[in-house]
Amino acid sequence: MSITNKAAIVGIGDTPTDRLGSKPGEPRKSSAEYIAWAMQLALEDAGLSLKDFHGQGLGVTIPTAYPQPFWPEEVSEILGITPGFLLGGATGGAGAVSLIGGMSAAISAGLIDLALVVGAAAPFSEHWGGGIQPGDMRDWEIPYGTMGPNSKIAMVMRRHMHEYGTTLDHLGKIAVTARYHASLNPLGYLRTPMTIDDYKNSRLVADPVRLFDCVMPANGGKAYILASPERAKTLRKKPVWVKGFGERSNPSYGPRAGSDALVMGVKDAGRVAMEMAGVKHKDINFLQLYDDYVIVVYLQIEDLGFCKKGDLKFFEDTDFTFKGQLPIQTGGGIINCGQPSTAGGVHHILEGVRQLRGEGGERQVANAKIGLISGLGVLPYGKNLGCCAVAILGNEV
């Protein structure tokens, strides 16, 4: 079974990133406002209206600290939609890409012929509180004084440097490339170009993880619209087709109680997606990789099979800019454009769509036909990332 060419992305909406509420007295917006704004932008882009979505698909990314347990239904109410197929994106930062799979499958099966996927968060403007929920983090991590995902990714990064001799120069190249692309993206937030030395001299957050290794939390909303081939052909923009999809949650490489923490589930999610799409590595014109940390982008390039594990020379020799052999993070990634919680995962999809439409402006990848998008979520106890989803998009049937 395959969903190749059974659904297309026909509209995108991306609110400008802000961090309002980080200083006292600043005006604030709610998640509801960002969601509505992102939806309006996507409807305008596609040439659709709210009424078109009654009885259709609605997908909502579930933020890490979410207002209430029935958030997707609440979002239906905020937007005034009566969905015929309602899904929550419950795979953390991978949710946005997971919903490409779920909604394309539903469209392919004929349950719906349109789907709106929205996500938003306002971590600086809204304070949902929360507290620590039951699970490994509460019982086996926090009692030792772990400081969230930074602590675990720092251990992954140090281990990679130890096993393969990876240096800050190798990693810094990724960070500098993404920032360069953000400088060319009007929707970027951190847009001042930086050097490898700027990266190396940034503050240590969780040794060896530095400030410019980390994603930047932000407020914002993002949306995309999927349509069946019949609907897609009648809409405003050139369709961007879903060519392949793969997902692996709770991946483990080696025994589950002691997995290889340097291998990510994109290894298998990517293989499945590429096989479905019928594409080889040489066919892929760009990568938009979920970037909660620089080392995570680096690992994905290895695990997707663009080089062997620990092939430092590949990273030294490859130009990852939009003009290079393997363009990555052409919009700047969420490290530079901001991460509104799990809605950050939508960023990579939207940038992929822009490139495939030829709307990449100053950072347009020449003759882009096929792009690979990844989403990642959750850092489990003893392993690398827990939810990995990969989609292959293309602009030709």
Which residue ranges make up the site for another protein (CB under 8 A)?
65, 130, 132, 134, 136-152, 154-156, 158-159, 162, 204-209, 255-259, 261, 381-382
Q: Which is nearer to another protein, 98 or 150 (CB)?
A: 150
Buried b (16+ CB within 10 A) or exposed e, 5-17: bbbbbbbbbbbeb
Distance of closest approach, residue 135 Cβ to another protein, in angstroms: 9
Q: Which is nearer to another protein, 143 or 186 (CB)?
A: 143
CB-based contacts of 179: which residues, under 8 Å, 6+ apart? 190, 192, 193, 194, 332, 336
Distance of closest approach, residue 194 Cβ to another protein, in angstroms: 22
Q: Which is nearer to another protein, 219 or 329 (CB)?
A: 219
| Helix (H/G/I), strand (E/B), else coil: 1 | coil
Q: Which of 202, 305, 312 is nearest to 246 (CA)?
A: 305
DSSP states of 162-231: HHH---HHHHHHHHHHHHHHHHT-TT-SS-S---HHHHHTSPEEETTEEGGGB--B-BEEEEEEEE-HHH
Strands 220-227 and 8-14: antiparallel
Q: Which is nearer to another protein, 159 or 238 (CB)?
A: 159
Q: Which is nearer to another protein, 160 or 354 (CB)?
A: 160
Q: Which is nearer to another protein, 110 or 134 (CB)?
A: 134
Buried b (16+ CB within 10 A) or exposed e, 277-310: bebeeeebbbbbbbbbbbbbbbbbbbbbebbeee
Distance of closest approach, residue 31 Cβ to another protein, in angstroms: 16
Distance of closest approach, residue 363 Cβ to another protein, in angstroms: 32
Tell me if 113 sits within 8 A of 228, measured CB to CB: yes
Distance of closest approach, residue 309 Cβ to another protein, in angstroms: 16
Distance of closest approach, residue 162 Cβ to another protein, in angstroms: 5
